[in-house]
Amino acid sequence: MPFETPDLVPPSFDPPTRLETDEFVFRPLTIDDAEQDYTAVSNARERLEGVFGPSSEWPPAGLTLTQNRLDVAWHHKEFQRRDAFTYAVVDPADTLEFGCCYIQPTRHPAYDAAVYVWIAEAGVESNLAEPIKRRLREWIKNDWPFAAVGYPGRDIPWPEWDSQLE
Protein backbone atom coordinates (compact mmCIF):
# COMPACT_ATOMS: atom_id res chain seq x y z
CA MET A 1 0.00 0.00 0.00
CA PRO A 2 1.42 3.45 -0.81
CA PHE A 3 2.18 5.96 1.91
CA GLU A 4 2.76 3.34 4.59
CA THR A 5 3.30 4.93 7.96
CA PRO A 6 3.19 3.42 11.42
CA ASP A 7 -0.01 3.80 13.37
CA LEU A 8 0.07 6.54 15.95
CA VAL A 9 -1.70 4.27 18.44
CA PRO A 10 -1.37 0.53 19.15
CA PRO A 11 -3.58 -1.84 17.12
CA SER A 12 -5.51 -2.76 20.27
CA PHE A 13 -6.55 0.86 20.90
CA ASP A 14 -9.85 2.06 19.50
CA PRO A 15 -9.66 5.83 18.99
CA PRO A 16 -12.63 7.55 20.58
CA THR A 17 -15.34 8.65 18.18
CA ARG A 18 -17.10 11.03 20.54
CA LEU A 19 -16.53 12.99 23.71
CA GLU A 20 -19.60 14.82 24.96
CA THR A 21 -20.01 17.58 27.50
CA ASP A 22 -23.07 19.73 28.15
CA GLU A 23 -21.52 22.57 26.13
CA PHE A 24 -19.57 20.91 23.30
CA VAL A 25 -18.74 17.65 21.58
CA PHE A 26 -15.48 16.33 20.16
CA ARG A 27 -16.05 14.08 17.14
CA PRO A 28 -13.95 13.06 14.14
CA LEU A 29 -13.64 15.70 11.46
CA THR A 30 -14.98 14.27 8.19
CA ILE A 31 -15.29 15.41 4.61
CA ASP A 32 -18.91 16.31 5.36
CA ASP A 33 -17.60 19.09 7.63
CA ALA A 34 -15.70 20.95 4.92
CA GLU A 35 -18.11 23.87 4.54
CA GLN A 36 -18.73 24.36 8.27
CA ASP A 37 -14.99 24.09 8.91
CA TYR A 38 -14.21 26.55 6.12
CA THR A 39 -16.55 29.11 7.69
CA ALA A 40 -14.97 28.63 11.12
CA VAL A 41 -11.42 28.90 9.77
CA SER A 42 -12.19 31.88 7.52
CA ASN A 43 -13.87 33.84 10.29
CA ALA A 44 -10.88 33.35 12.61
CA ARG A 45 -8.05 33.25 10.06
CA GLU A 46 -5.87 36.03 11.45
CA ARG A 47 -6.22 34.80 15.03
CA LEU A 48 -5.34 31.23 13.94
CA GLU A 49 -2.06 32.16 12.25
CA GLY A 50 0.82 30.34 13.90
CA VAL A 51 -1.26 27.69 15.67
CA PHE A 52 1.03 25.07 14.10
CA GLY A 53 4.17 27.13 14.65
CA PRO A 54 5.57 30.51 13.70
CA SER A 55 6.64 29.29 10.27
CA SER A 56 3.31 27.62 9.47
CA GLU A 57 1.45 29.15 6.56
CA TRP A 58 -1.92 27.82 7.73
CA PRO A 59 -4.47 29.15 7.25
CA PRO A 60 -3.44 30.92 4.07
CA ALA A 61 -4.99 34.30 3.31
CA GLY A 62 -6.50 33.00 0.08
CA LEU A 63 -7.88 29.74 1.45
CA THR A 64 -10.70 28.53 -0.77
CA LEU A 65 -13.50 26.12 0.01
CA THR A 66 -11.96 23.67 -2.45
CA GLN A 67 -8.59 23.82 -0.68
CA ASN A 68 -10.31 23.35 2.66
CA ARG A 69 -12.19 20.32 1.32
CA LEU A 70 -8.85 18.78 0.38
CA ASP A 71 -7.41 19.50 3.84
CA VAL A 72 -10.44 18.09 5.61
CA ALA A 73 -10.48 15.01 3.36
CA TRP A 74 -6.82 14.44 4.20
CA HIS A 75 -7.52 14.62 7.93
CA HIS A 76 -10.44 12.24 7.48
CA LYS A 77 -8.15 9.76 5.69
CA GLU A 78 -5.44 10.11 8.36
CA PHE A 79 -8.01 9.16 10.98
CA GLN A 80 -9.06 6.11 8.99
CA ARG A 81 -5.41 5.09 8.55
CA ARG A 82 -4.65 5.76 12.25
CA ASP A 83 -1.78 8.08 11.27
CA ALA A 84 -3.23 11.10 13.10
CA PHE A 85 -6.57 12.08 14.59
CA THR A 86 -8.42 15.32 13.94
CA TYR A 87 -11.58 16.16 15.82
CA ALA A 88 -14.11 18.89 15.21
CA VAL A 89 -15.33 20.57 18.37
CA VAL A 90 -18.99 21.36 17.81
CA ASP A 91 -22.07 22.45 19.72
CA PRO A 92 -24.24 19.60 21.07
CA ALA A 93 -26.68 20.01 18.16
CA ASP A 94 -23.74 19.71 15.72
CA THR A 95 -24.68 22.90 13.89
CA LEU A 96 -21.73 25.13 14.85
CA GLU A 97 -18.01 24.45 14.90
CA PHE A 98 -16.17 25.79 17.95
CA GLY A 99 -12.74 24.63 16.76
CA CYS A 100 -10.59 21.60 16.01
CA CYS A 101 -7.97 19.54 17.76
CA TYR A 102 -5.24 17.47 16.19
CA ILE A 103 -3.48 14.50 17.76
CA GLN A 104 -0.41 13.89 15.65
CA PRO A 105 2.82 11.96 15.60
CA THR A 106 5.93 13.95 16.39
CA ARG A 107 9.66 13.71 15.75
CA HIS A 108 10.29 15.35 19.12
CA PRO A 109 12.29 12.78 21.13
CA ALA A 110 10.58 13.50 24.46
CA TYR A 111 7.00 12.97 23.29
CA ASP A 112 4.81 10.21 21.86
CA ALA A 113 2.39 12.66 20.26
CA ALA A 114 1.79 16.35 19.74
CA VAL A 115 -1.58 17.99 20.29
CA TYR A 116 -2.68 21.20 18.62
CA VAL A 117 -5.97 23.03 19.07
CA TRP A 118 -7.60 26.10 17.64
CA ILE A 119 -10.76 27.82 18.73
CA ALA A 120 -13.12 29.43 16.23
CA GLU A 121 -14.84 32.74 16.83
CA ALA A 122 -18.01 30.89 17.91
CA GLY A 123 -16.02 29.15 20.64
CA VAL A 124 -14.43 32.39 21.81
CA GLU A 125 -17.74 34.27 21.76
CA SER A 126 -19.37 31.44 23.76
CA ASN A 127 -16.58 31.62 26.38
CA LEU A 128 -15.65 28.01 25.61
CA ALA A 129 -11.98 28.41 24.69
CA GLU A 130 -10.61 27.51 28.11
CA PRO A 131 -13.17 24.77 28.87
CA ILE A 132 -12.40 23.14 25.50
CA LYS A 133 -8.64 23.26 26.10
CA ARG A 134 -9.01 21.98 29.66
CA ARG A 135 -11.28 19.08 28.66
CA LEU A 136 -8.98 18.22 25.75
CA ARG A 137 -6.03 17.80 28.13
CA GLU A 138 -8.06 15.62 30.50
CA TRP A 139 -9.26 13.49 27.61
CA ILE A 140 -5.77 12.98 26.21
CA LYS A 141 -4.39 12.15 29.66
CA ASN A 142 -7.16 9.76 30.67
CA ASP A 143 -8.35 8.14 27.44
CA TRP A 144 -5.37 7.95 25.09
CA PRO A 145 -2.41 5.55 25.28
CA PHE A 146 0.41 8.10 25.34
CA ALA A 147 3.08 8.31 28.03
CA ALA A 148 4.14 11.84 27.08
CA VAL A 149 2.20 14.38 25.05
CA GLY A 150 3.56 17.71 23.86
CA TYR A 151 1.47 20.82 23.43
CA PRO A 152 3.73 22.91 21.19
CA GLY A 153 3.30 26.64 21.50
CA ARG A 154 1.30 26.18 24.69
CA ASP A 155 3.41 24.29 27.28
CA ILE A 156 6.57 24.33 25.21
CA PRO A 157 7.72 27.54 23.53
CA TRP A 158 8.06 27.19 19.78
CA PRO A 159 11.83 27.83 19.68
CA GLU A 160 12.40 25.08 22.29
CA TRP A 161 10.05 22.68 20.45
CA ASP A 162 11.58 23.33 17.05
CA SER A 163 15.15 22.96 18.34
CA GLN A 164 14.43 19.34 19.37
CA LEU A 165 12.98 18.15 16.08
CA GLU A 166 15.22 15.89 14.07
Following DSSP, what letter does each residue of 3-63 receive, concatenated? T----SS-TT----S-EE-SS-EEEE--GGGHHHHHHHHHHTHHHHTTTT-TT--PSPTT-
Measure Cα distances from 105 to 30, 108, 135, 137 in Å: 19, 9, 20, 16
- Residue range 106-130: mean pLDDT, rounded: 95
Measure Cα distances from 117 to 2, 58, 110, 134, 154 in Å: 29, 13, 20, 11, 10
- Residue range 88-113: mean pLDDT, rounded: 95
Measure Cα distances from 68 to 28, 96, 100 in Å: 16, 17, 13
Residue extents of the structural domains in the chain: 19-161
pLDDT of residue 74: 96
At residue 164 the predicted structure's pLDDT band, cuts being 50, 70 and 90, is confident
- Minimum mean pLDDT range among 5-19, 96-110, 116-130: 5-19
Q: Give the residue with greater pLDDT, 55 vs 85.
A: 85
- Residue range 44-55: mean pLDDT, rounded: 91
Percent of the chain with pLDDT over 90: 85
Residue type, 23: E
pLDDT of residue 1: 37
Residue 6 has pLDDT above 60, yes or no: yes
| Averaged pLDDT of the chain | 93
Distance of CA 49 to the CA centre of its chain: 14
At residue 166 the predicted structure's pLDDT band, cuts being 50, 70 and 90, is low
Q: Report d(CA 98, CA 41) in Å as an integer.
A: 10
Percent of the chain with pLDDT over 70: 96
Q: Considering only CA atoms, which of 69, 88, 77, 75 is closest in space to residue 17?
A: 88
- Residue range 51-66: mean pLDDT, rounded: 93
Q: Report d(CA 61, CA 55) in Å as an integer.
A: 14
Question: What CATH class is the domain 19-161?
Answer: alpha beta
Q: Report d(CA 53, CA 11) in Å as an integer.
A: 30
